Every structure is written in C-alpha cells, then in structure tokens.
C-alpha cells in the first residue's frame, strides 16, 4: 500500500531524526483514518451495563431473541 519512495523517506527521516510532513491526501491515510472509526465501539456492541459483548455472546443473544419472537408468534396464532 505504501509507495516505496514514501517508505524509504520515512525510514531515512527516522535515521536522520528529521520530521517530514505527511501528505494527508495519500490513499493509505484514508484507510488509517477510516479504520479508527471502523474499530471504535458502537452502542449496539454494548450490553445493558455497557460492557463489550463478544461475537459468541452476540450470536447467543440474537438466537434467544429469535426464539422469543417465534414463541410469541406461535402463542398468538394458537390463541386465534
């Protein structure tokens, strides 16, 4: 993703201890900026007390919700 010249410039600036100004329009920087947003915690990723749910916990929670919805549908149609 890095252009070789950019990578070489960064390595050389590190060796020389000279700061270089990054071009914020470089395509790889869009990825870096967007990845912070993608990896941030969203409200739907949190449970009731604000702790992060694991993927397995999310799947289990979704499965239970679907079972409850199915039970409600079944009880509704049985009472008609």
pLDDT score of 65 = 92
pLDDT score of 73 = 82
pLDDT score of 54 = 74
Low-confidence residues of the chain, pLDDT below 70? 1-4, 17-30, 32, 36-53, 76-80
Which stretches within the chain are classed as H helix?
Answer: 4-16, 27-38, 55-78
Q: With contact defined as beta carbons under 8 Å apart, do 66 and 60 qualify?
A: no
pLDDT score of 1 = 47
pLDDT score of 7 = 79
Residue ranges per structural domain of the chain: 4-38, 43-78
| DSSP 8-state assignment for residue 80 | -
pLDDT score of 64 = 92
Nearest to 25, CA basis, from 9, 12, 6: 6
């Amino acid at each position: 993703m890095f252009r070789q010249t950019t990578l070489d410039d960064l390595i050389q600036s590190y060796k020389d201890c000279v700061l270089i100004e990054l071009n914020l329009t470089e395509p790889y920087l869009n990825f870096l900026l967007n990845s912070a947003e993608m990896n941030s915690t969203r409200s739907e990723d949190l449970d009731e007390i604000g702790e992060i749910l694991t993927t397995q916990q999310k799947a289990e929670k979704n499965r239970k919700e679907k079972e409850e919805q199915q039970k409600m549908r079944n009880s509704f149609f049985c009472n008609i």
